Structure 1
């Protein structure tokens, strides 16, 4: 039933991707064209059972990112269903208007700031999300912290290339202050792990209460400024919105200790990127652990790729087996529900 074929045609024709197609319904049902975008790891087809819908859709899976909107439109303009992975490809009003046949847009997660939900509603497009992600972002937060403080990239590279045996001195976590901007599900888990390392944990967000902080063993900072000035590590776990966009700028970075580290596994626009690069270049903070960027994939000439006090990963916080299985299972369920006339997990514009 599965027909895989490969092509070496230019990106406009096939994006150098594996193509998976079911061309006609064996049960006589109408067949809708569906595209899965940005399947970087070639995981979409193996992480869920698509057989429940493959007689009702013609499916194309694209493994490489479309940098050019014209190329993207050429690939998916005849699709009624499009599946996107988080914010890898934004769907703003301008793009949506170029896709008049689009009826269902499925995104992983129940929140995606890169989709213009107002424009989608106006165009009659149903936007569905998926539930369940896993704990990958929590775990990656600590991977970034440990990578920075123990200089793991530098020491590993030296070991592999015959460089100096032991050239750095690690930074201890025990006894240090961990400051959390945001104490939701991920922030709370990060807080508990911080305590296991023997750290003092404090937190702040606009609506956080002392009782809520105490429930996960943290203390409530009196202000954002106090948290920044007193913490040895600042880790961001906020939802991107009007109140959080640009929350950390040059003034806030200047409040941090010169020995402090900034960790961002949330969303890049929460931090002023120009101000962050300047702070890292001038060593006004010790370093940064980053998994999110304003432009993804990160441009080849972006300074965050080369600054020595940055430990960076390509937005892989949510990229784990558990999360992918939950996401793609939810994607199939969303498509099946839509095809059955009863969409589920529908995302609507916030009033």
Structure 2
């Protein structure tokens, strides 16, 4: 469609105009979609039929940075979870019109550059709310019951060698009556609060003091949250304000019997400070589904820290969650091709 050539503020990229005119030019072209990193969402149990119905679909388990430009050649739509799209790459892919992110977060995409170049970006909010909330409660229960330790004790022979019918090595406690401090009262944080309330927990949440959330939960300041909570559950987005917010000062204000549970982003927690707090007994324990570096190096100190449950960024990944994710991505792409705005972040 020659009338669209040369479009864009960059002036040197030959691409068609962005949304809302997408349908006009895509009707006349073969809409090739490239999924760059299916291994991040497919563990052998997903069906990509909804994506295949849209048009030609090329799938790669993993794509290295140096492979991206070649694999995206001629693609109008790129689907990715973690592949990084910087301005240089996007300029080198003149056919690219849409980046469909298989996640809620999209900090792997240079959004400003995408907007300048007329490339739309769509994410998928809300698909993992139930999964992450369930996983959060599972971690809290595991910490309260010392589930991981007692399972290991039963398997390594300590129970077999016990002189009584049971083991009482680690005291356990009930969630009922304990205070849950939630950092981030979005969809996930609110669902965690609702579930925790069913266990009889009292809920406080980080926010402007003196104002209650819609669920009736009390808003408190950061110091109050640290000092009053038996569990701190983190569901904040990563931002300059949230980076390192769980640091030495925050941890020093916590009860010695309290726990940190991070299901959000690794850099929100100062890992060195948390490691010190765990090893010194400053706090009772932690559960982390995210770390600063993923996967972590073999010598990551938290991997051997006492009473610290670590899981491989898997809280979001129930089969139901991943199926919803694929269907939502397909719907985002279809909407874009029709010239409709859906879950657009650029």
TM-score band (shorter)?
0.7 to 0.9
Return the alpha-carbon distance in structure 1 between the equivalents of residues 87 and 247 of structure 2: 29
Deviation at 1:324, TM superposition (A): 1.6
Partner of 2:3: none
Distance 1:73 1:175, change over 3 A: same
- Check the 8 A contact 1:131/1:330 in 2, yes or no: no
Aligned to 2:269: 271
Deviations 1:2-52 (A, max 9, x none): xxxxxxxxxxxxxxxxxxxxxxxxx99525251241424335851653342
Residues of 2 paired with 1:339 and 1:111: CA distance?
22
Which residue pairs with 1:143 in the alignment?
138
Residue 38 and residue 257 in structure 1: after superposition, are their counterparts in 2 closer, same or farther (change >3 A)? farther
Counterpart mapping for 1:156-235 below 5 A: 156-164=151-159, 166=167, 167-205=169-207, 207=208, 210-212=211-213, 215-221=214-220, 223-235=221-233
* Cα distance in 2, alignment partners of residues 152 and 52 from structure 1: 45
Q: TM-score w.r.t. structure 1 length?
A: 0.78
Q: Which runs of 5+ in 1 are unaligned?
A: 1-26
- State the Cα deviation string for residues 110-161 of structure 1 (Å, max 9, x = none): 5423322012222332211234414111111111111122121221122233
**Structure 2 counterpart of 1:46:** 47
Do 1:239 and 1:266's aligned partners in 2 also have CA atoms closer than 8 Å?
Answer: yes
* Map of 2:124 onto structure 1: 130
Equivalent position SS for 1:140: helix
Q: Is the 8 A contact 1:33 1:58 kept in 2?
A: yes
Q: CA deviation at 1:83?
A: 1.3
Check if 1:121 corresponds to 2:119: no
Gaps of 5+ in 2: 1-26, 160-165
Distance in 2, matches of 1:74 and 1:301, equals 35
What is the match of residue 239 of structure 2?
241
Deviation at 1:92, TM superposition (A): 4.1
Q: Secondary structure at the match of 1:266?
A: coil
TM-score by length of 2: 0.79
Give the secondary-structure state (helix, strand or coil) at the position aligned to 1:285: coil
